Amino acid sequence: MEMEKKKALDDLRKRFSGKIKETFLKFGDEIVIIERDSLLDVVKFLMKEPYSFTMLLDLTCVDHIGQENRFQMVYHLFSLSNNHRLRIKLSLPEKDPVVDSLTSFFKNANWLEREVYDMFGIQFNRHPDLRRLFMYEGFEGYPLRKDYPLRKRQPRIRLRK
């Protein structure tokens, strides 16, 4: 099993040598850090046999405020046939937080990406319906960004007091 685990990362390094920034194991989890323009190719490659990462467990974002590449996207993939997990990370600059959408591969990426758009303001290329998911229309800003004011409230209706 350990051999197989290493195999996916090694194959990725071989196949996309220029696009892979780093691969490592942390707390028993495999992590691969890639360039953002190679996301679709990497995922497509991992979805095929023998890796068969056919399930997108989760997709989220981290705000590293103050850094040059402020946002970091995190994708958790799972292979049902191999019982195998893999995490993909990629960084986005603050000025241009755009990444390709995974909706053409995974149906559930639709709402997950809408959530990330809603909370962090990340734009997803070729997303079929990029609207806010949790917050309401008229809400300004992205509440999970670290620079969203802690006490800022945007009520939809006039409050009594």
Partner 1 sequence: MPGKRALSNGNAKSAKEFDMEGGFITTKFNHILGWARKFSLFHYPFVTACCGMEYMSAACAHFDIDRFGAGWTRFSPRQSDMLLVVGTITQKLAPVLRTVYNQMTEPKWVVAFGTCAVSGGIYDNYAVVQGIDRIIPVDIYIPGCPPRPETVLDGLVKLQEKIQNQEQEWRWKRKKP
Q: Interface with partner 1 by CB under 8 A: which residues?
A: 134-136, 143, 148, 152-157, 159-161
Q: And the tokens for 127?
A: 């997303």
Asked if 77 and 85 count as a contact pair (C-beta separation under 8 A), the reply is: yes
For residues 95 and 158, which CB has a smaller minimum distance to partner 1 in the complex?
A: 158
CB of 155 to partner 1, least distance (A): 5
For residues 51 and 120, which CB has a smaller minimum distance to partner 1 in the complex?
A: 120
Q: Which of 64, 124, 125, 114 is nearest to 94 (CA)?
A: 64
Cβ neighbour number for residue 82 with a 10 Å cutoff: 17
CB of 148 to partner 1, least distance (A): 7
CB of 12 to partner 1, least distance (A): 38
Q: Which of 44, 45, 15, 21 is nearest to 33 (CA)?
A: 21
For residues 1 and 150, which CB has a smaller minimum distance to partner 1 in the complex?
A: 150
For residues 74 and 135, which CB has a smaller minimum distance to partner 1 in the complex?
A: 135
CA angle 105, 107, 109 (to 5 degrees): 85
CB of 102 to partner 1, least distance (A): 26
3-state class of 89 per DSSP?
strand
